[in-house]
Amino acid sequence: MKYVIMVSHGEFAPGLHSAVKMMTGERDDVLSTSLKADMSADEFAANFRTLVEPLNADDSVILLADILSGSPFTNALAVLDEKGLMPNTLVIAGMNMPLAITAVLMKDNFDDAELLKETLLSEGHAGLTEFKVESDDAEDDI
């Protein structure tokens, strides 16, 4: 099975997971956990270890993290490595809603891991846009 796992500081990953669930429905292949303010990195690692305990060595993972090299990122990688899952893991930092939705909905449509990665990164980048509000000076004043 291919899993999407979201990790973050604070409530970002569980919140994003909740928002993604609104768009994609309840799914057993989407997991999340976070490093809370009163939690040590070791406690996070233990929580993550429990979260991924059901995964088997032949499962695949798309790990989405809030920031590169943060404690959730590094501890999740260490646990996935302990389980022997790193060869089957795609890791992306800087997650956002378009990236997460695409990962959940499209992960099973790609046999080519490189194409999946390119698609996910493209969707994540496309989700970052500036919206400009421009006034129409030609309107009559009241």
User: Averaged over 24-38, what is the pLDDT?
Assistant: 97
User: Averaged over 102-123, what is the pLDDT?
Assistant: 96
* pLDDT of 141 higher than 90: no
Tell me: the pLDDT tens digits for 5-14? 999 999 999 9
Tell me: the pLDDT tens digits for 97-107? 999 999 999 99
Predicted local distance difference test score (pLDDT) of residue 55: 98
* pLDDT of 36 higher than 70: yes
User: Averaged over 34-63, what is the pLDDT?
Assistant: 97
DSSP state of 141: P
Predicted local distance difference test score (pLDDT) of residue 70: 96
Predicted local distance difference test score (pLDDT) of residue 122: 97
* pLDDT of 63 higher than 90: yes
> Backbone dihedral region of 36: left (phi > 0), alpha (psi from -120 to 50 degrees) or beta?
beta
Give the gyration radius of the chain's Cα atoms.
18
Tokens read off for 83: 């389980």
Tell me: the pLDDT tens digits for 13-29? 999 999 999 999 999 99
Amino acid at 126: A
User: Averaged over 19-42, what is the pLDDT?
Assistant: 97
CA distances from 53 to 19, 22, 66, 102 (A): 24, 26, 22, 25
| Structural domains in the chain, sorted by start | 1-124 (3.40.50.510)
Burial (Cβ within 10 Å: 0-12, 13-18, ≥19) of residue 56: exposed
**CB contact at 8 A, 45 and 51:** no
Q: Which of 39, 28, 37, 103 is nearest to 65 (CA)?
A: 103
